[in-house]
Amino acid sequence: MILPIVGYGSPVLRKLTQPIDKDYPNLSELIENMFETMYIANGVGLAAPQIDLSISLAVIDAQPFTEKYPEADGFKRVFINPEIIEMSEEKWTFEEGCLSLPELHEEVSRPCSVVVRYFDENFEQKEELLTGIRARVFQHEFDHLQGKVFVDRLSSLRRTLLKRKLNDISTGRVETSYKMKRLNTKK
């Protein structure tokens, strides 16, 4: 089932998510729906807050990056209750986008590599070193689980310049090829 995606401006994107356990209702169905929603929107990652659920769960499939970034190959994962236990001091800049911020693409600086601990879809605990595009996509989704979005990582000057665009997104004045959940705010 395809779920509507929550846009920038929605309070759920600003909340620290709650960890879940393996008894979370219909978890495998939820994971399946998140992958389906992500694929139809041509995304490479989707975090639960983006479908209006404040839980610590994100799905990733970096396959579309494989041609340019070979390390993306096979990077399809479900991250439940993930933690970053180590990150490199070295950073690199990459142009990010987000399904919750349509038509916005900005250069974001983040650590080159991270070591993460998480539970997979079978609730097996894993520890994994992620580098390159793997580390990039993971950190973007991890931010969502902390109530952050990528524009928070831009300079305040850059954010000021993007103010109108961000306002358009938060008030639903943006076209998307996928379904978005509109906010019922009167501003």
Q: What does the alpha-carbon distance between residue 31 and residue 81 come to, in Å, rounded to a whole number? A: 14
Total residues interacting with Ni ion, rule: CB under 5 A: 1
Helix (H, G, I), strand (E, B) or coil at 122: coil
Q: Which is nearer to Ni ion, 123 or 159 (CB)?
A: 159
Q: Which is nearer to Ni ion, 80 or 143 (CB)?
A: 143
Which residue number places its CB atom closest to Ni ion? 98
Q: Which is nearer to Ni ion, 20 or 98 (CB)?
A: 98
**H-assigned helices in 56-161:** 132-145, 156-161
Question: What sign does the dihedral 62-3-171-16 (CA atoms) show?
Answer: negative
Of residues 1 through 20, those in contact with Ni ion by CB under 5 A are none
Binding mask 125-154 for Ni ion (x = CB under 5 A): ------------------------------
Tokens at residue 52, please?
Answer: 């209006």
Q: How far is the CB of 146 from Ni ion (least distance, A)?
A: 12
Q: Which stretch binds Ni ion (CB under 5 A): 65-73, 92-100, 119-127, 161-169?
A: 92-100
Tokens at residue 136, please?
Answer: 């990039």
CA angle 127–43–98, rounded 5-degree value: 90
Q: How far is the CB of 124 from Ni ion (least distance, A)?
A: 25
The yes-or-no answer on residue 71 being catalytic is no
Rounded to a whole number of angstroms, the CA Rg of the chain reads: 16
Question: What sign does the dihedral 32-29-143-106 (CA atoms) show?
Answer: positive
Is 98 a binding residue for Ni ion by CB under 5 A? The answer is yes
Q: What does the alpha-carbon distance between residue 183 and residue 187 come to, in Å, rounded to a whole number? A: 10
Q: How far is the CB of 117 from Ni ion (least distance, A)?
A: 21
Q: How far is the CB of 10 from Ni ion (least distance, A)?
A: 13
Residues that bind Ni ion (CB under 5 A): 98
What are the residue numbers of the active site?
141
